[in-house]
Amino acid sequence: MSIYAVYAHGDLPWDAEAAHWYRAAQVRLAADGGARALLRRGLLPDVAVGDWDSLSADELHRLRQAGVTLHTFPPDKDATDLELALLYAVEHGAHEIHVFGALGGRWDQTAANLLLLAHPRLREARVRLHHNGQRLWLIRGQDTITGAVGDTLSFVPLGGPARGVTLQGVAYPLENGALPWAGTLGVSNRFTQPQVQVQVREGMLLAVHIPQDAQRALEDAKQSSAP
């Protein structure tokens, strides 16, 4: 069992978390064009999977010359490069997977990448998506979330309503309640204690943790782009 850092071909800002998990992971895995973000920083994945439609011939040559393990798939395949990368990780014993570059860019791929968290073959792994300091993952059953008082914490049901939901340690607690499918009731809660306890008896919750520094950066970016 090991920790994987997976780099996809979406928006991939190289922040402290991306650098941390590159160093901390036992295996660094690139999903096709995700290898470019590493190469541009003088870094290499240990393994890369894909059909190589997002890499130049020179970039692919550099990966081969460096001894990166390449798993090549045909262009006409039934899964995205990121799905193939995540399945490779769990098939090779990953118990914790940190994903960068899964969000941003094309909306269809962003939506599909979010839903990959519910992939049945990933159920036994702890998969986290990271983007601009935000962390996203799926909760089935119980979870303990560590953060700072004042951090934003949102819960969005996936695949239907979530029932028997208990939230403790947040500004808007819940006791054996329900979050409706396609509703926004669980959005923009916040930590009131360093640890939040979550229980879901029926359904799944997409959890989004936004630390305060990431929230400030988002607000600054919004203001700077305002007309």
Ranges of the chain with pLDDT below 50: none
pLDDT of residue 119: 96
| pTM for the predicted model, two decimal places | 0.92
pLDDT of residue 224: 67
pLDDT of residue 77: 85
Domains with residue ranges and CATH for the chain: 2-131 (3.40.50.10240), 137-225 (3.40.50.10240)
pLDDT of residue 226: 61
141 neighbors 163 (Cβ within 8 angstroms):
no
pLDDT of residue 42: 95
pLDDT of residue 222: 65
pLDDT of residue 227: 67
pLDDT of residue 7: 97
